[in-house]
Amino acid sequence: MQRARAPLTGPSNAPHAVAGSIAPCGVVLWAMMVAACGRPSTPVGPALLDLDAPTLAAELAAGRVSAEAATRASLARMAEIDAAGPALNSIIEVNPDAIEIARELDRRWAAGGPVGPLHGLPVAIKANIDTDDRMATSAGSLALAGHHAAADAELVAQLRAAGAVIIAKTNLSEWANFRSMDSTSGWSSLGGQTKNPYVLDRNPCGSSSGSAVAVAARLVPLAVGTETVGSIVCPAAANGVVGIKPTQGLVSQRGIVPLAASFDTAGPMARTVAGAALLLAAMQLVPAADYKAELENLAGVRLGVLHTYRFADVDPGVEAAFAATLQLLEAQGATLVEPADMESLPGFSTAVLEALLFEFKAGLNYYLAEAGIEPRSLEALIAFNSANADTVMPIFGQDLLERSVAHGGLDDADYAEALKASKIALQAQLQALFSEHALDALVVPVNEPAEQIDWVNGDSRSLSSAYLAAVSGYASVAMPSAMIGELPVSIAFVGEPSSDAQLIEIAAAFERARGPLPAPRFIPTLRE
């Protein structure tokens, strides 16, 4: 039976647009503009968002752009593109205090210069991350629509200290895509359906779909997502942006609505590797001064080419694009170790799900009780959803929540076995692979072209490699590698724990060699 559709929703407070124009020579890196056509005028209004994050950060730090101008540009773009126009629906809530926050940053700049490396940059935050402001931390659920956190998540406090303007909360797959096995990525009962900006009826992937779409559509230069098993890597890939899934533990989990503590992490999204690195440096537990990306080429870098990912060799277009990527990496001097493959782990997928079911119950019960809000427990959440089924569950149910609540505690022997057969087993396998081939990183395709949004059957994607870094806790940088027709496909570089800086270097070198890819054109459909 076809399920009823929920209405799409967007931001409630649409700001006024800011007039402006792009300098005649076009918006490119500041130094390139000066070299090519003399010192240009800085773009104003929404055109500011055509600058990548590091370039806009430099303009803000130098005082050539005010924090208020950048914030108004972002708000105007949200009103024009997200709430209206193609109505991407990536923003679940706009910060009503964003302009005043930006004005205060401008006052501080006038008194003593930039506050920090993110001074004045608009940053969007996934709606499962606590912010101590007038925005809710909802996880996309109507049950938490009125939940206002008592304190910033630790990573949010660090971003504010670095000078960021926390401008909006992004939509997500409800409960980080852990409500039902039949879910549709990018849909939540509170926020509706987020759309892929390349082709609007295509799946944006989950659960950090709103964060990825907001960056791809140039609503914000930077956004924060969270990942348990692919929820940074997959939406970054489907929407043609860079997503960094850091080494687990590099970024604090305090103040994030949990899915599974053994796997969860937050991570940055940006249009470029340098932008994602800029955000990661500010949000990690011990903030880094910078992530340098100075490799001119990949000489001496050993990359293991992985072909044993889920549904390898199924999509000829993906395989052709990956082959071209490998040629480009080799031309840059990388040594390709091919194949660097692994045997399937018996019962792996079942064990991963079992570990998630145990940890979700424990983590969510703790979060809800500590927050002192209703619902106070997973059991109460299930009851709320059932009582409000017409609005909460119009297109899929809550079978995962019901399975999770039936599980025991983290002292259950079955939980220990599930963790051993999933995370611990994969870590051992990856460690052996890296050691055997003396690898600096693995390189692997991430996605096939995004499938159509399907509210009847749910997600249907087949190709998947994000579990490698997600389940193991290893680091990963996902980035677009090519276009197949109108849709981006991506690769990921996967490295051992604490290899984040090296992966950023490798990814930046590939990005320079690859060159630019087209921006989204908001095509309604590819169907004739």
pLDDT in tens, 105-132: 999 999 999 999 999 999 999 999 999 9
Reported confidence tier of residue 41, pLDDT bands at 50, 70, 90? very low
d(CA 401, CA 411): 20
**DSSP assignment letter at 356:** H
Choose among 140, 130, 200: nearest CA to 170.
Answer: 140
Which of 66, 74, 90, 126 does the annotation list as catalytic? 126
Q: How far apart are CA 105 and CA 352, in angstroms?
A: 44
* Residue 336: pLDDT over 60: yes
Give the DSSP per-residue string, 265-298: EEEEEESSHHHHHHHHHHHSSS--S------SS-
- Annotated catalytic residue within 180, 231, 476, 490: 231
pLDDT at residue 312, as a whole number: 75
How far apart (Å, rounded) are the C-alpha atoms in residues 448 and 490?
8
**CB atoms < 10 A from the CB of 172, how many?**
36
Q: Which helix (H) or strand (E) holds 337?
A: strand 335-337
Residue 208 catalytic? no
- Based on the residue annotation, tell me whether 420 is a catalytic residue of this protein: no
Task: Catalogue all structural domains in the chain, each as residue range(s) with its CATH number.
Answer: 29-528 (3.90.1300.10)
* Residue 164 DSSP one-character state: -
Catalytic choice (173, 207, 208, 404): 207
The structure tokens 């079992």 sit at 354
Question: What is the pLDDT averaged over residues 474-503?
Answer: 97
Which 8-state DSSP code applies to residue 411? T
Active site residue 481: no
Q: Which residues pair with 193 in a beta bridge?
A: 187
199-219 per-position pLDDT tens digit: 999 999 989 999 999 999 999
The model's pTM:
0.91
pLDDT of residue 13: 30
Both tokens of 90, joined, read 């990536």
